[in-house]
């Protein structure tokens, strides 16, 4: 299930949101300040952000702008600021939606469900990233118009990266997503081998990859913007 980063300094509000979303099957990463939220965002694959505005160490708008420079995750502002200029500032910072306090947990949950249904391919038949097309229902991949054959691990690795473009995944995160285990139970080069094989099939020049980038000391990311097509 997708991970949601929750940045909310009010303990009771944070606990209520986390309890509700976890009951629906989401993984919730809770932070009370911007510093904690940045650490969680950099250390985990996050698919959505719920962000308060007034925080003890700064403005949530600044954090949203910081996130938006690094990822296209879905962002919803959750705040007591209900004036139109406040909402406009939220959207300018990069938010996708806006809810004012007091709010309905049921409505918040429905918003998340609608978003993830779109992103998991229920309303998309393909993902297109530059010269790479992934046909989700058929589980087929085309690179520069030619179909390529992927193993099961290569397919899941490709989808993991495509669903979170520009987001860095560490070796351990990739292992957990692909195999459900941590790095102590598999060979040291398992991730590197799978990355290398995938690059051979999709990159024009695997020695100068344009799609799958290695961020030294951190992990790997998909370096191209993607769009869903029905």
Q: For the chain, which residues make up each domain, given as ranges?
A: 3-119, 126-229
| Residue 223 pLDDT greater than 80, yes or no | yes
- Average pLDDT of the chain is 84
| Residue 186 pLDDT greater than 60, yes or no | no
CA distances to 49, 94, 183, 226 from 119, rounded to whole Å, are: 14, 18, 28, 11
In the structure, what pLDDT confidence band is assigned to residue 17 with cuts at 50, 70 and 90?
A: very high
pTM over 0.85, yes/no: no
Give SS3 for 150: coil
Please report the pLDDT score of residue 99 as a whole number: 85
Q: Assign 3-class secondary structure to 46-106.
A: CCEEEECCEECCEEHHHHHHHHHCCCCCEEEEEECCCCHHHHHHHHHHCCCEEEECCCCHH
Q: Which sign, positive or negative, has the C-alpha torsion 129, 133, 138, 139? A: negative
Q: Which CATH architecture is the domain 3-119 placed in?
A: 3-Layer(aba) Sandwich (3.40)
Select, from the ranges 34-43, 67-76, 98-107, 214-223, the one with the highest average predicted confidence (pLDDT): 34-43
**CB 150 within 8 Å of CB 207:** no
How far, in whole angstroms, is CA 126 from its chain's centroid?
18
For the domain made up of 126-229, give the CATH fold.
Arc Repressor Mutant, subunit A (1.10.10)
């Amino acid at each position: 299930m997708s991970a949601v980063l929750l940045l909310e300094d009010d303990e009771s509000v944070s606990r209520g949101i986390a309890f509700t979303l976890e009951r629906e099957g989401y993984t919730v990463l809770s932070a009370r300040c911007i510093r904690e939220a940045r650490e969680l965002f950099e250390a985990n694959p996050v698919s959505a952000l719920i962000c308060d505005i007034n925080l003890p160490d700064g403005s949530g708008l600044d954090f949203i702008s910081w996130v938006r420079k690094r990822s296209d995750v879905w962002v919803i502002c959750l705040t007591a600021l209900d004036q139109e200029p406040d909402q406009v500032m939220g959207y300018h910072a990069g938010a996708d939606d806006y809810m004012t306090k007091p709010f309905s947990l049921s409505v918040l949950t429905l918003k998340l469900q609608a978003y993830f249904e779109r992103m998991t391919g229920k309303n998309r038949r393909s993902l297109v990233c530059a010269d790479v097309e992934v046909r989700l229902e058929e589980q087929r991949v085309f690179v520069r118009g030619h179909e390529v054959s992927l193993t099961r691990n290569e397919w899941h690795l490709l989808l993991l990266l495509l669903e979170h473009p520009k987001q860095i995944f560490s070796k351990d995160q990739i292992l957990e997503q692909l195999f459900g285990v941590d790095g102590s139970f598999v060979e040291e080069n398992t991730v590197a081998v799978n990355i290398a094989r995938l690059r051979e099939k999709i990159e024009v020049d695997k020695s100068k990859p344009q799609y799958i980038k290695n961020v030294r000391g951190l992990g790997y990311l998909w370096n191209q913007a993607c769009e869903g097509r029905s």
